Chain A
């Protein structure tokens, strides 16, 4: 074998070594995790995602939400995530069992969303009375973010349709605050993508305890 042959074997080995250690071994360690049953409630943790929420996960990824929001709570020694009440414990591999894309995120220009579907103080100010985000509030944020005081969220109004009111559609049309209402005789309705995105965000709940990540009392 000449120098080129040895070089090829070396670069192949460097690749295979890292592939085996960082992909193959983890595949056996975290690739085969199963949900666990809660001893008191009998629920399986993490709960499975609905079909709509799974589609919402794709909408979340496709719109680059992860370039502003993370979905990972770090340990108390790794940052202030728990002190900010973004979660009760560090997130672990099992929490993402049903996600085809865990959307871990790369920047925090907005707050962490790992537990958006849980009742807690305002995410942005880390204080105030506990509240739970609801579908109407999220739709308002996506369609008319400027209607929410202090919000620098981009608008996703393209996920909504403005149309003539046809029959009684009050349960799906958006309720917008004063100054942001639509014209007389028109309503704003979310598309399937918008509904899926909201369903996904409201399903984000990693507050249950796991053996590898217990919740401190």
Chain B
């Protein structure tokens, strides 16, 4: 994405194949980018309330009937607990999953070389619209006090059902295109992609049944929830990100993927350990020790496939450093590849009992989430979308978008590092304070205060980066739409 030449993704067949997906993928990317901004703003409102808990409590001062009702609704909807639930859910289902579904649909086309027929395109557009309705209905459900209370699975039952139905159409379409493929040897990118396509409905379906159908009580819903979140994070979102890394990095660098054997063993390690790792979030919780211990072991062992995967991405990037320096898409992908390893290391560290005793339940958890959701997943997604958009429109990205994407990278990169640094120190001091029983509990939050502002600064930088991203995506899609309309008129 330097001035002369954009990302090199040709040579994988038909450009008509990419162009045929322009409508659905443009819709997916624009919607996901908008949800990213919504999530960032909700997060800002929630985070701000930690310092100013009366920020949105307008009720006392406003007596006018209709205006009062409006502000009362704002107070209810954006109250800290609901705003946190909304932030997390919109981030996962509105931005990350939706964005990665777009990337997965594009990648499926590239890997299977099968075009979607016109009817299929309409089905896809309908499913995307349904997915966004599901996210909107879920968000309204959380705002109106119908959240399930399970972080990351907060949307009410009916919204989850809409999401599942929408995914059924999207996933079925991708699965059918793979079923028609004649080649018999899957590539590393396909392992992760096919895995994620199937794992998501399986994990989601089981979690839906156990959490929403009230068939289990006691600690079982919490256990199912932890298992689901582990599967969603590692096997679904993680796999989708790794799949696109395995495809884009060699494609852009113009290299063939070597170390296929190590990549294959890493995949199976990743699949089996990732499926076991979710319960580590309940370290010290009211569950039999063997469940948590086995999950902790799986979480620590994830370092093995994580190292292999990061190594598979970083070695070619490092040996083509000149190209990396001049190609901003690779900045995003390289940051994502390194962040995967950083995240797995932090999670492994957090699941150790000694560390968990001090840092669990502190601000540090927010920092680890930021590394996963932003430094790893979002960075890979930003890079992928910037790489895919020109293939959909058949034209290079406009110059202003290229410049802004560089600007976005540095705001986002510096922002997430600043946010993590702030939460690291705030969480460490807060956690050590809580673990020191003679200290009054209220004093522990004061220990974190100076570093809290560092996190706020990081959060503002990330918000700016996200605003630049949504502007870039919307501008690119709109200019492509205008040009295709003009072409339509001329012809």
A binds B: yes
Residue A129 CB within 8 A of the other chain? no
**Using Cβ atoms and an 8 Å threshold, which residues of chain A touch B285?**
72, 74, 104
Complex formed: what's the CA distance from A168 to B301 in Å? 66
Which of A61, A107, A111 is close to B149, meaning CB atoms less than 8 Å apart? A61
Q: Is A39 an interface residue (CB 8 A)?
A: no
B54 to A: closest C-beta gap in Å = 6
A152 and B53 within 8 A (CB): yes
Within 8 Å of chain A (Cβ to Cβ): is B217? yes
For A120, list chain B residues within 8 Å (CB). none
A80 touches B81 (CB 8 A): no
Docked complex: B60-93 residues within 8 A CB-CB of A: 60, 72, 75-76, 79-85
Q: How far is the CA of A101 from the CA of B157 in the complex (A)?
A: 14
Within 8 Å of chain B (Cβ to Cβ): is A50? no
A19 to B202, CA, bound (A): 10
Distance in Å from the Cβ of A3 to the closest Cβ of chain B? 5
With an 8 A cutoff between CB atoms, is B250 at the interface? no
| Contacting residues, chain A, for B151 (C-beta < 8 A) | 66-67, 106
CB of B7, distance to nearest CB on chain A (Å): 28
| A23 near B210: Cβ-Cβ < 8 Å | yes
Chain A 187-214 near chain B by CB (<8 Å), digits 1 or 0: 0000001000000000000000000000
Q: Determine whether the beta carbon of A61 is less than 8 Å from that of B276.
A: no
Determine if A123 and B441 form an interchain contact, defined as CB atoms under 8 angstroms apart.
yes
How distant is A183 from chain B, measured CB to nearest CB, in Å?
10
Known: A60-B149, A79-B435, A154-B80. A93 touches B218 (CB 8 A): yes
Residue of A nearest to B361 (CB): A108
Chain B 80-113 interface mask (CB, 8 Å, partner A; 1/0): 1111110000000000000000000000000000
- Is A40 part of the contact surface with B, judged by Cβ < 8 Å? no
Partner of A22, one of B60, B194, B221, B295: B295
Report the minimum CB–CB distance from A35 to chain B (whole Å).
11
How far apart are the CA atoms of A109 and B53 in the complex, in Å? 12
Residues of B within 8 A of A11 (CB): 194-195, 198-199, 271
Mark interface residues in B250-285 (1 if CB within 8 Å of A CB, else 0).
000000000000000000100110011011001111
Question: Once bound together, how far apart are the Cα atoms of A155 and B222, in whole Å?
Answer: 27
Query: B146 an interface residue at 8 Å Cβ cutoff?
Result: yes
Q: Is A29 an interface residue (CB 8 A)?
A: yes
Q: With A68-B80, A96-B219 in contact, do A29 and B288 touch (Cβ < 8 Å)?
A: yes
Q: Is the interface of B mostly helix, strand, loop or mixed?
A: helix
Which residue of chain B lies nearest to A14 when distances are taken between CB atoms in the complex? B271
Bound form: Cα–Cα A15–B60 in Å? 52
Residues on the B chain within 8 Å of A27, using CB:
216, 220
Counting contact residues on chain A (CB < 8 A from B), the size range is 35 or more
Question: What 1/0 flags go to B189-214 for Cβ under 8 Å of A?
Answer: 01100110011001100100010001
Could you tell me the distance between the alpha carbons of A3 and B214 in the complex, rounded to whole angstroms?
A: 39
Residue of A nearest to B145 (CB): A62
Known: A23-B206, A100-B217, A104-B286. A17 touches B272 (CB 8 A): yes
Q: Which of A7-26 contact B (CB under 8 A)?
A: 7-8, 10-12, 14-15, 17-19, 21-23, 26
Say yes or no for B57: interface residue by CB 8 A criterion.
yes
The reply to whether A153 and B441 contact each other, CB–CB distance below 8 Å, is: no
Chain A nearest CB: distance from B113 CB in Å? 15
Q: CB distance A96 to B149 under 8 Å?
A: no
Say whether, besides A31-B216, A61-B148, A67-B85, A7 and B194 are in contact (CB < 8 Å): yes
CB contacts (< 8 Å) of A124 on chain B: these are 440-442
Choice from A12, A78, A123 contacting B357 with Cβ under 8 Å: A78
CB <8 Å contact, A107 and B365: yes
- Check A217 for interface membership: any CB of B closer than 8 A: no
For A180, the closest partner residue in chain B by CB is B60
A125 to B441, CA, bound (A): 6
0 or 1 for each of B281-318: is its CB under 8 Å from A? (1 = yes): 01111111001001100000000000000000000000
Q: Which chain A residue lies CB-closest to B443?
A: A125
Residue contact B356 to A126, C-beta cutoff 8 Å: no
6 further contact pairs, Cβ within 8 A, besides A2-B185, A12-B198, A18-B272: A7-B186, A14-B275, A18-B227, A30-B287, A31-B218, A62-B147
Chain B residues within CB distance 8 Å of chain A: 49-50, 53-54, 57, 59-60, 72, 75-76, 79-85, 145-151, 178, 181, 184-186, 190-191, 194-195, 198-199, 202-203, 206, 210, 214, 216-224, 227, 231, 235, 268, 271-272, 275-276, 278-279, 282-288, 291, 294-295, 353, 356-358, 360-362, 365, 434-442, 445
